[in-house]
Amino acid sequence: MSHVDALSRNPVEIDFGCLLVRTIDTKWIATVQKDDSELKRIVDILNDSTSGDIVDIRNNFLIKRGLLYRKTDDGERWVVPKGVRFQLLKANHDDIGHFSFDKTFAKVKESYWFPKMKRFIQKYVKSCLECAHAKVPAGKKAGELHTIEKIDCPFHTLHIDHLGPFVRSSSKNSYLLLIIDAFTKFIILIPVKSTKTVYSIRAMKNYFNRSKDNSDSDMDESDDAQLDAHEIRKSNEVI
Ligand SMILES: [Zn+2]
């Protein structure tokens, strides 16, 4: 395995430093601008005094000390050739701490311009794996976990969860709301349509009201009216 040994003893050093757009280097800008055919076309038009009829280009671009600039409301910005836009973003997003789209965009547009730059940066930041990995999960924050004190009293503390989904029943129920009394371990199973809070509240209200009143009230759809918006909102805050 001498070839492997030779590699490990003499590792090939690849210097990517030259690819980075960390500093604003006017020579570098001039070189990459000349390599881009679209930008070269603009430069040629600007340098050709006979092409005065292309007003748009003359109004929007200018050449200063051999560099192509775009005129913007905030001042003149270097025009970034297609081939180095990813490098520019790498330097202004990845290498400086993965800031949000707003901050990345603000930073890039301080010095640079290219067509559809905002959309390009939006896509770049959105597809950044590092950012996706570090992102705080969206939606409601999970509540803090507390240890539950054991109380020797039936129905003082209930453990509630959903089981399912199961095959949908003829009553269109797909889940079971599982309620376990912490003291007696008594189990209550109530079929519900989904894991939505509204169905859980309704099922529990029906069950416990029925137990309390010892009435024959059914626990189907009849109690919708009892759950006004306020109660649902309140219960969402708890669950
Ligand atoms: Zn990122």
pLDDT, tens digit (0-9, with 9 covering 90-100), for 89-128: 999 999 999 999 999 999 999 999 999 999 999 999 999 9
Distance CA 2, CA 15 (A): 26
Q: How far is the CA of 135 from the centre of ligand 1 (A)?
A: 10
Check residue 221 and give its pLDDT: 46
pLDDT higher at 45 or 94: 94
pLDDT of residue 53: 59
CA of 108 to the centre of ligand 1 (A): 14
Phi, psi values for residue 63, rounded to 5°: -110, 130
Q: Ligand 1 mean position to 13 CA, how many Å? A: 26
How high is the mean pLDDT of the chain? 76
**How sure is the predictor about 28, in pLDDT bands with cuts at 50, 70 and 90?**
confident
Range name among 138-147, 158-167, 202-211 with the lowest pLDDT average: 138-147
- Over residues 72-95, mean pLDDT: 92
Distance 133 CA to ligand 1 centre (A): 9
From the CA of 99, how far away is ligand 1's center (Å)? 7
Alpha-carbon 105 to chain mean position = 16
Instruction: Give residue 71 CA to ligand 1 midpoint distance, Å.
Output: 29
| Per-residue pLDDT at 106 | 95
User: What are the CA-CA distances from residue 105 to residues 23, 51, 83, 116 (Å)?
Assistant: 17, 34, 19, 12
pTM confidence score: 0.47
**How many other β-carbons are positioned within 10 Å of the β-carbon of residue 124?**
22
Name the helix (H) or strand (E) containing 30: helix 26-35
Q: Please give the distance, rounded to the nearest whole angstrom, from the Cα atom of residue 11 to the centre of ligand 1.
A: 30
